[in-house]
Each structure stands twice: as C-alpha cells, then as structure tokens.
Amino acid sequence: MGLNETPSAERVHIGFFGMRNAGKSSVVNRVTNQEMSLVSDVKGTTTDPVRKSMELLPLGPVTIIDTPGFDDEGALGKMRVGKTREVLAVCDIAVLVTENESLTESEKELLSLIEKRNIPHLVVHNKSDLSGASGKAHGGLFVSAKNNEGIEQLKEALASMAPKKKTVRFVADLIEAGDTVILVIPIDSSAPKGRIILPQQEAIRDILDAGAVSCVTGVETLADTIDSLKTKPALVITDSQAFSKVMKIVPEDIPLTSFSILMARYKGFLDAAVEGAHALDNLKDGSKVLIAEGCTHHRQCEDIGTVKLPAWIRRHTGAEPEFTFTSGHGFPDDLSDFDLVIHCGACMLNDNEVRNRMTAALDVGTPFTNYGTVIAHMNGILERSLRPIKNGR
C-alpha cells in the first residue's frame, strides 16, 4: 500500500459477476479505462478474481474486482464458483453482467445470491451492439463494452449506489478538542518492524482531526507519562495484549479502553462482540471455537490468534475446547457447528465483510466476538473498557 493511499477497508468494493463470456472483463476494462483483465472468446478466460484499487470518478476510491464466470461446469467450475462467492462477501456493490436481454435461470440464481446478502446491485446487459438495444433496461442498463457505449451511465449509476460515508468515527467522537489521549503501544518481538499497525495509525489521525493531542508510550513508561501530564488524560487506549499490566497502572478515574474495542465499535459489531465474550464462560471440553484472522500477513495477530488466545482461554475456562483457525478471505460457509467465533480486530476487512461474517454466525445462533473484547473479558476489565463508550462522553 502506498503511503497516500486509502486503506482497502475504506474503499468501495465493486464486484462484476456473471456467466462465462458475458463480457465481465471487457466491461471492467472499459469502466477502469485500463487493460486490467484478459479478454477472449474462450469461455473461462478469467480463472481467479482480479482486483484493482483506483480512483473512479465520480465515485472516489474504489476496489474493482473482476470475477471468474459463475457457471459451475466440472471441477474447475466448482473452484471458480467458490472464489466468486468469496468476492461476494466483500462487495459493497455488485454488478451482474449478462449478454442476454432477459436473465437465464443460472443468472437468476446468481442474482438471488446477491439479493440474499442485501448487496446493492445493478444488472448490465452487455453486447448491446449485437441486440441494438440502448439506454435503461428493465431494472438495469444496456451497454456495449465493444463500442464503449453506456459506460459513463454505468459509472454514474455506480456512484449513486455507493454507501453513504459513515458517520461513526474511530475515537474522535469520544473526545474533545484540547484533550490529551494516551496510546499504549508495546513494542515487543511481535510488533512489526519500523512501523505501527493500522488501528494505531487511525487512532492518531482521528485524535489529530478532533484537535486533541495524542501521547504515545510503551507500558514501562506509562506511569511516568501520566504523572508528567499537567491535566488528567481524557482517555487511555491500550493494545489489548497489555491490558493486564495497563489496568493496574491507569487510575480508576481515568477512562481506559483498547484499540480492539474501538475497532469493533467502528466496524459496527461491538454489541455482538460483548455478548460473544460472555459466551466464553460457557465453553466446555470439546466445545468448538473458530479463531478467524482477517489477513494473512500480520505476525503479531497470528501469534495472538493461534498461540496466546487458545492458552488464555484454556486457563480462563479450565476446559479443553477444540480450536479451528482460518485466515485471510477464507471463512467457513456454515458456522452452525461452532460454539463461538472469535475474530481478529478486522482492521484489514471492509465493513460488509465483517458484518457478513457476524451475520453468518448470529443467524445460526453462534456467538461472534473479537480478540480484544475476549481479552478484556478474561482480564475482568470489559466493563471498564466499555465505560468511555457507553458514557458517549
């Protein structure tokens, strides 16, 4: 990611879906005005999702995703369909590309998958040069990728469908201009080299936007930092792993929370996370726990997810639950076998993907929580770390 780029989670994700040879890649190339995907008359040219992050006017920062055709012929077909379903899970907007004037049965099936997920969508009837149709179709648009017709209208339609900018802030709405906020960021062997992770960056930026001051410290220097301030800090935000040490240092009258709890709130699943954390206490020997990581490259999270969390959970519950681990965009379709899903902070996933995962769990009665919230619960300070948020300050 370039330094000036919008983080992926903040971009509008637009997926192009349809049967093989409908012209998905051709339409995507026209929309992005780039030769992003290979085009040919061979069915099944696109075998893996192709992603491109860009500024798309009049919409702003987007990630465009071209997908493999959805017809599930043969074993390869099944793989294509699986990959396409994963893309569906991250989409804010879905475009169904068809070369037909009315949808075929398979296309209707695909459309119902999109509708089931409540993804705003649009049907694009491509190859209008062959049919001679133009303009708006019933519930869709006619375009011709070949002649570059209807593409501007398509972009405008996409812009009008974009989700509204969210009003919830990472932390700025909990503080006031002039406040001092202490951020506790332990630098140990699992911290990434030479930088700090996304939720920490977002917190610092948001505190600046609020006209407040952030004071960044490790655990060892925290007590001295608090002492050295002329006024009491308005809030302390800590890395979840340092909770047990930090809670002893920060006096009760200073609000304390964690990056994970703020992230869960920002992503819209804090209530579920709190409920899910309490479900931890019901785990027994053999209970099935899914520990899901949103990305595949954060050593720090991996270490927490696969090593520390299971050990802490065994100690907290006194039970021997059975753990399953997933990472990246892979996530089980059916969660009904699990007694609890514990997700990472999801800083790299967009809101829809997190919400879909949460809904998939809650729909089948499986509680859903995140690393930081269970860690706060196991340390007995969940109530305290929610206080700054409940009070709304």
Ligand X SMILES: Nc1nc2c(ncn2[C@@H]2O[C@H](COP(=O)(O)OP(=O)(O)OP(=O)(O)O)[C@@H](O)[C@H]2O)c(=O)[nH]1
Dihedral in degrees, nearest 10, Cα atoms 364, 367, 368, 369: 180
130, interface contact from ligand X, Mg ion, none, CB < 5-8 Å by kind = ligand X
- Name the one range near ligand X by CB under 6 A: 7-15, 44-52, 309-317, 357-365: 44-52
Least Cβ distance, residue 80 to ligand X (angstroms): 8
C-alpha distances out from residue 272 to 38, 97, 100, 109, 351, Å = 42, 36, 43, 31, 14
Q: Does position 98 bind Mg ion by CB under 5 A?
A: no
Question: According to CB under 6 A, which residues from 326 to 385 bind ligand X?
Answer: none
Q: Between 98 and 200, name the residue whose CB sits nearer to ligand X.
A: 98
265, interface contact from Mg ion, ligand X, none, CB < 5-8 Å by kind = none
- DSSP H/E element including 256: strand 256-258
Least Cβ distance, residue 146 to ligand X (angstroms): 3
- Name the one range near ligand X by CB under 6 A: 85-93, 143-151, 225-233, 384-392: 143-151
Q: Does position 30 bind ligand X by CB under 6 A?
A: no
- Name the one range near Mg ion by CB under 5 A: 6-14, 18-26, 250-258, 267-275: 18-26
In this structure, the number of other CB atoms found within 10 A of the CB of residue 139 comes to 10
Rounded Cα distance, 368 and 46, in Å = 35
Of 207, 198, 196, 191, whose CA–CA distance to 241 is shortest? 191
Q: Does position 45 bind ligand X by CB under 6 A?
A: yes
187, interface contact from Mg ion, ligand X, none, CB < 5-8 Å by kind = none
C-alpha distances out from residue 265 to 169, 204, 341, Å = 9, 17, 17
Rounded Cα distance, 213 and 233, in Å = 10
In this structure, the number of other CB atoms found within 10 A of the CB of residue 1 comes to 9
| Total interface residues for ligand X by CB under 6 A | 24
Q: Does position 46 bind ligand X by CB under 6 A?
A: yes
Residue pointed to by tokens 């007590």: 223
Rounded Cα distance, 379 and 260, in Å = 14
Q: Between 18 and 276, name the residue whose CB sits nearer to Mg ion.
A: 18
Q: Does position 24 bind ligand X by CB under 6 A?
A: yes
Cross-sheet strand order for the sheet of 256-258:
213-217, 180-184, 235-238, 256-258
Q: Does position 20 bind ligand X by CB under 6 A?
A: yes
20, interface contact from Mg ion, ligand X, none, CB < 5-8 Å by kind = ligand X
The beta strands (E) that lie in 67-165 are given as 93-98, 121-125, 136-137, 140-142
In contact, 251 and 197? CB cutoff 8 Å: no
- DSSP H/E element including 291: strand 288-292
Sole binder of ligand X in the list 8, 25, 63, 379 (CB under 6 A): 25
Question: According to CB under 6 A, which residues from 99 to 138 bind ligand X?
Answer: 126-127, 129-130
What is residue 132's DSSP assignment? Answer: -
Of 151, 112, 152, 144, whose CA–CA distance to 125 is shortest? 144
Q: Between 46 and 63, name the residue whose CB sits nearer to Mg ion.
A: 46
Q: Between 103 and 277, name the residue whose CB sits nearer to ligand X.
A: 103
Q: Does position 26 bind Mg ion by CB under 5 A?
A: no
Least Cβ distance, residue 55 to Mg ion (angstroms): 23
Site string for Mg ion, 37-66 (x = CB under 5 A): --------xx--------------------
What is the binding site for ligand X (CB under 6 A)? 18, 20-26, 39-41, 43-46, 68-69, 126-127, 129-130, 144-146
What is the binding site for Mg ion (CB under 5 A)? 25, 45-46
